[in-house]
Structure 1
Amino acid sequence: MDHKTSLTQHIKAPADKVWAVISDIPGSAATLSGVDSIQMLTQGPYGEGTRWKESRTMMGRSETVEMWVTQCEPPVPAHGGSAGGGARGGSTTVKALQGGADYTSRFALAERDGGTDLTLTFGAELVNPTRLSKIMMAMFGPIGMRITRKALAKDLAEIAAKAESL
């Protein structure tokens, strides 16, 4: 059983500035009000294999989840050398396993109208689901996804605010 949702936020900033925000894992607790703390598990620049523990409070409960980057394609600088030309595209995928579920978050950047559309696609899939977990997901999955979608929309708005302030 798989649950997915996708949201897009238009950001009045070039893709390279948006990328700078989403790839700044150590700084994400300062950017995202839903993130309580970050503990880096790997050193070096953001890329495939980057790992960290992220603590968030959702529905009044704090949880810490280990996350890692499985795919990373930074934006490509625009051609032509024009001042303020920005960058094009870019995407990254982050995974986490928690409570019997496999979570995937994919961020995709696309230039549009002098800014960047940041699309976040989030999915949750049960790992080795039991009959009971399937029933519980059918009953409570839609509620959980509504709560998750609201939290993701807030994250995107906060990413936009940070990128637009750079």
Structure 2
Amino acid sequence: MDHKTTLSQHVNASPDEVWAVISDIPGSAATLSGVDSIQMLSEGAYGEGTRWKETRTMMGRAETVEMWVSQAEPPSPTRAGSTTVKALQGGADYTTRFMLAGDGGGTDLTLTFGAQVLKPTLMSKIMMALFGKIGMSITRKALVKDLADIAAKAESL
């Protein structure tokens, strides 16, 4: 039982500038209007294994989720960049993948978000059938705002 959405945003900034914003986890609470706070759980530069707790308020309720980087390839002159962030929460596996492709006049930033229930029960199947589309709609709106916030920050660098 998977739910997935893909969004794109053109950013008038270089792939390196966009990467700098995406990979600045400690600064993401200041960049992303939907993030209340960040608590770093690992030290060092952004890369595979970087861990943190992120608190967001959605539907009037604050929720803290532990997240980690499962894949990170910064952009280079010869290839597009990408990074994948994972989270496990409430019996679901969440995956967010950012892809950055330079287009000569900036960066095409694509975000793919997926949610998969790990051990679906009859009740979780019923709940997903009833509320899955609403939940993904709310998530999609939050992700659209995240992309706009990332673009605004990268364009201001």
TM-score range, shorter chain: over 0.9
Q: Could you tell me how far 1:35 is from its partner in structure 2?
A: 0.3
Q: Which runs of 5+ in 2 are unaligned?
A: none
Measure, in 1, the Cα distance between the counterparts of 2:103 and 2:92. Answer: 34
Q: Quick check: which has more Rg, 1 or 2?
A: 1
Within the alignment, does 1:56 sit opposite 2:47 as a pair?
no
Within the alignment, does 1:37 sit opposite 2:37 as a pair?
yes
Measure, in 2, the Cα distance between the counterparts of 1:162 and 1:150. Answer: 19
Q: Secondary structure at the match of 1:24?
A: coil
Which residue of 85, 101, 105 maps to 2:96? 105
TM-score (norm 1): 0.93
Q: Could you tell me how far 1:127 is from its partner in structure 2?
A: 1.1
2:124 aligned partner: 133
Provide Cα deviations, 1:99-133, integer angstroms capped at 9, x if missing partner: 11100000000112510011000000001110110
Measure, in 1, the Cα distance between the counterparts of 2:134 and 2:37. Answer: 26
Measure, in 2, the Cα distance between the counterparts of 1:91 and 1:42. Answer: 20
1:123 aligned partner: 114
Provide Cα deviations, 1:34-79, integer angstroms capped at 9, x if missing partner: 0000000000000000000000000100000000000000011x27
Give the length in aligned residue pairs.
Answer: 157
2:84 aligned partner: 93
Within the alignment, does 1:11 sit opposite 2:6 as a pair?
no
2:66 aligned partner: 66
Q: Which runs of 5+ in 1 are unaligned?
A: 80-87
Query: Percent same amino acid among aligned pairs?
Result: 78
Q: Could you tell me how far 1:139 is from its partner in structure 2?
A: 1.0
Measure, in 2, the Cα distance between the counterparts of 1:112 and 1:59. Answer: 36
Q: Which runs of 4+ in 1 moved over 3 A?
A: none
TM-score (norm 2): 0.98
1:165 aligned partner: 156
Measure, in 1, the Cα distance between the counterparts of 2:31 and 2:44. Answer: 20
Which residue of 123, 128, 142 maps to 1:151? 142
